[in-house]
Chain A
Amino acid sequence: MSAVDTADIASAARTRKRYAPGLVLSAAVLVLILTAAIAPGLFTRQDPLAADPIHRLEPPSRAHLFGTDELGRDLYCRVLHGAALSLSTAGIALAIGLLCGTLLGLIAGTARGRVDDLLMRATDVLLAIPSLLVSLAVVTALGFGATKTAVAVGVTGIASFARITRAEVLRVSVAPYVEAAHVVGVRRPTVLMRHVLPNAWAPVLGFAAVSFGASLLAVSTLGFLGYGTPPPTPEWGSLVASGRSYFAEAWWLSTLPGLTIVATVLAANRIARALHGEDGRLPR
């Protein structure tokens, strides 16, 4: 009976800040970057591929916000144009992991028995190999390029999504209200659609939101190592890599694109955490 007492106490103790400054800042950053990805022309009028050798390796200034690279190209412009590629690749990778993984997890959670066993062993194997190594193996087999990078990163996400979906489906399937639905005569497929899925997808989506940042990092890493779209097309990871050769004299070449990655991932993670609920459950 004091369970309700303690529930009162617990909810009183949780002072939830709705509009913390960090959250507002993160939202602003994400909006800016997304706009840049969709319409880079709004922020800069220059051409990311236009070389201007006279002004090579200039530090940041009013004319060139991020400075110029070894061919005189405006770095700010290249970063903006690279946003679309980096973000979309990360997005595709996330989608691959989400769609394939949740489907597999759903099958495992509802079919149970042999099928479940088989699928779980498969995810065990995938999770036993470090994700970057898996991505590298896929890249070796498929070759280099943006879409192949997306696939390489997406594959690593399948196992985690499958695990989470399966766990949620199992958790909801044994909930009393699902059993009650069986008792009142609802057929199995209808129970699945009407009761199990709607109550199970929320934590999975929360996980997806949190995974976007990781996806972006992985895609950038593959780009940095040289397995993404070949130059001169700008991509955040490869921008950092190409800045290495001149790193001693031109610090901005690697630092600023990398900073953009950090800012994006930070903002995405912050928003995902807020959506997810601080204690891991989606607030109703």
Chain B
Amino acid sequence: MTRYLLRRLLHAAFVLWAAFTASFGLLYLLPADPVSVMALGGAGGGVPSAAQVAALRRAYGFDRPVPEQYLSRLTAALHGDFGNSVQTGQSVTRLIADALPQTLQLAAAALLLALVGALIVSLATVRTLPLPWLRHAPVPWLGRALRSLPALGVSAPSFWVGLMLIQLFSFRWRLFPAVGDDGLSGLVLPALTLALPTGAILAQVLTRSLVTALGEPYIQTALAAGSGPGRILFRQALRNASIAPLTVAGLLVGELLAGAVTVETVFSRTGIGRATATAVSTQDIPAVQGLVVFGALVCTLVSLVLDLLVPLLDPRIAATAGGSR
């Protein structure tokens, strides 16, 4: 098992290094002259003077050869230093650290909502399937309606959903605030908006996975031994079915982080997402690189945790993992 863990850690380290290198290549090498790009953004609408550009060039070490730049940035990054944001002047790491707690709050609330929502919708959908052993009067329209819910959730852009929620719950019915960071009531609408696409995908995967599990031969064995619908669903099928969504959940946490960009913009909340949007608008290259690597870090950590969890659920994977690969 330890060998498996070591391999996964090594892989994670590789991914982070590659993310750093790729974003370095993209951001620093691709544009014709990254310095003028950054200077333009940093000047906030005006035209930067030649002196400003030259100062920037020196400050960011663009007068040095590329490999040297890369190595110095890499070593700095390993120490947690991603340079300074052109816009605000503060260190990028500081920027991220300041903005993180708000986003964590939002993401945690959204994840919880998504999980609970997906579970409810999936179980309800499966319950309405015309399976002979469920033997209740099938309500076909309900089944169809439940099945189309996730499709709706996936098709609606989150910026639009957020605006709709604001229109209804803030402007019309005055239940929740439209913008701002304060407290629990300010968290509801943004969390809902963020949770919707994630929850919808989770619901789709879980439903599909449950339906597959229910079609497997071992369900027949259980039915033939006298199991009822409750036992079948919860004791036999659910555990098998939750393996697939768990692997997807890793991807989805990353998408939550990305979704925070739009949600925080729409609701004018402080957080990593808003910081990213601002950084991109001002073409603040160091900040964007820091944020990209940070995103990769979060995803890698989550998938590491999941890699530890999945063998617990599926003993077949535990066998191949702990064995010798």
Taking beta carbons and an 8 Å cutoff, which residues of A are in contact with B?
22, 121-122, 124-125, 127-134, 136-143, 213, 217, 220-221, 224-227, 237, 240-241, 244, 247-248, 251, 254-255, 258-259, 261-262, 265-266, 269-270
Contacts and interface: CB of A to CB of B under 8 A. Distances in A.
Interface in B156-194: 156-160, 163-164, 166-167, 171
A121 B18 contact: yes
Contact of B295 (A127, A133, A138, A266): A133
Contacts of B254: 128-130
B205 interface: no
Interface residues of B, number: 54
Nearest to B251: A127
B324 interface: no
Given A137-B288, A255-B167, A221 B152 contact: no
Contacts of A128: 15, 19, 254, 296, 299-300, 303
Interface in B10-60: 11, 14-15, 18-19, 22-23, 26-27, 30-31, 37
The 4 closest A-B pairs by CB, nearest first: A258-B160, A132-B258, A130-B258, A130-B254
Name A's interface SS: helix
Nearest to B170: A248
Most buried by B among A122, A133, A143, A247: A133
Most buried by B among A22, A132, A221: A132
Nearest to A138: B26
Nearest to B294: A133
Interface stretch (B97-105, B115-123, B278-286): B278-286
Contacts of A227: 280-281
A216 B155 CA distance: 10
B258 A226 contact: no
Interface of B: 11, 14-15, 18-19, 22-23, 26-27, 30-31, 37, 148, 151-152, 154-160, 163-164, 166-167, 171, 251, 254-255, 257-259, 261-262, 265-266, 276-277, 279-281, 283-285, 288-289, 291-292, 295-296, 299-300, 303
A92 B131 CA distance: 43
Nearest to A217: B157
Name B's interface SS: helix
A221 B145 CA distance: 27
A136 B160 contact: no
A266 B155 contact: yes
Contacts of B171: 247-248, 251
A254 B178 CA distance: 15
B296 A129 contact: yes
A224 B155 contact: no
Contacts of B164: 255, 258
Contacts of B19: 125, 128-129
Contact of A136 (B152, B154, B163, B276): B276
A14 B22 CA distance: 47
A255 B280 CA distance: 26
B265 A225 contact: yes
